[in-house]
Amino acid sequence: MSSKEYENVHMLKQTNQLKCLYTIIRDKDTDRGDFVFYSDRIIRLLVEEGLNQLPVKPVDIKTPLGHAYQGQRFQGKICGVSIIRAGESMEQGLRDCCRSVRLGKILIQRDEETAQPKLFYVKLPTDIDSRYVFLLDPLLATGGSASMAVDVLLEKGVKQNRIMFLNVLASPEGIKVFHDKYPEIKVITGMVDDGLDEKKFVVPGLGDFGDRYYCI
């Protein structure tokens, strides 16, 4: 599946560098140190692409030489919201690009009996409804957890067109579910894989991102 099938799905440019980074983090023999280092590089690229999608406004400034210059500034403030636990791995990449960025957290876990996502914990900035939100989760598989997280944001007054969902790897099934339900939300992904297996894992995939990143 190509990300071009959906207007609001933006996949990173598939450069030789990016393909090499993904080969490293997909390899089962990559140790934790290298997995974290190269995952962080990909996450930084995702955050930068997310920033590229934010609206800007013109602003007039003067340079140190006294010359006038017409530049641009972002129209509004942003915040990051990570889906615990794996989403927290993407917070530093956001901090590296945006100083003093506000962060929120949502904990969603799958109910063992129903196999459905269940909301356990929410902590968000009080003014989140006036911010652009970067929703952070490394994997978009079925879209269940991400959908529940988006519903929480919508209940807090955040508009769909102010949410960007950043993920390292996505499945075509998850993208379709997410796009059909939230057509105005932009999905920023590094790669789109072949699909989901019978256990709903993204394949060929890279394993459990949180386990490999935090080595637990």
Annotated catalytic residues are 110, 114, 208, 211
Provide the residue type at 32 as one letter: R
Angle between helices 32-52 and 16-26 (to 10 degrees): 140
209-214, long-range: CB within 8 Å, 24+ apart, which pairs?
Answer: 209/39, 209/86, 209/89, 209/138, 209/139, 209/168, 209/169, 210/85, 210/86, 210/89, 210/138, 212/32, 212/35, 213/32, 213/35, 213/36, 213/39, 213/86, 213/89, 213/138, 214/85, 214/89
Cα separation, 103 vs 185, in Å, equals 19
Residues across the chain: 216
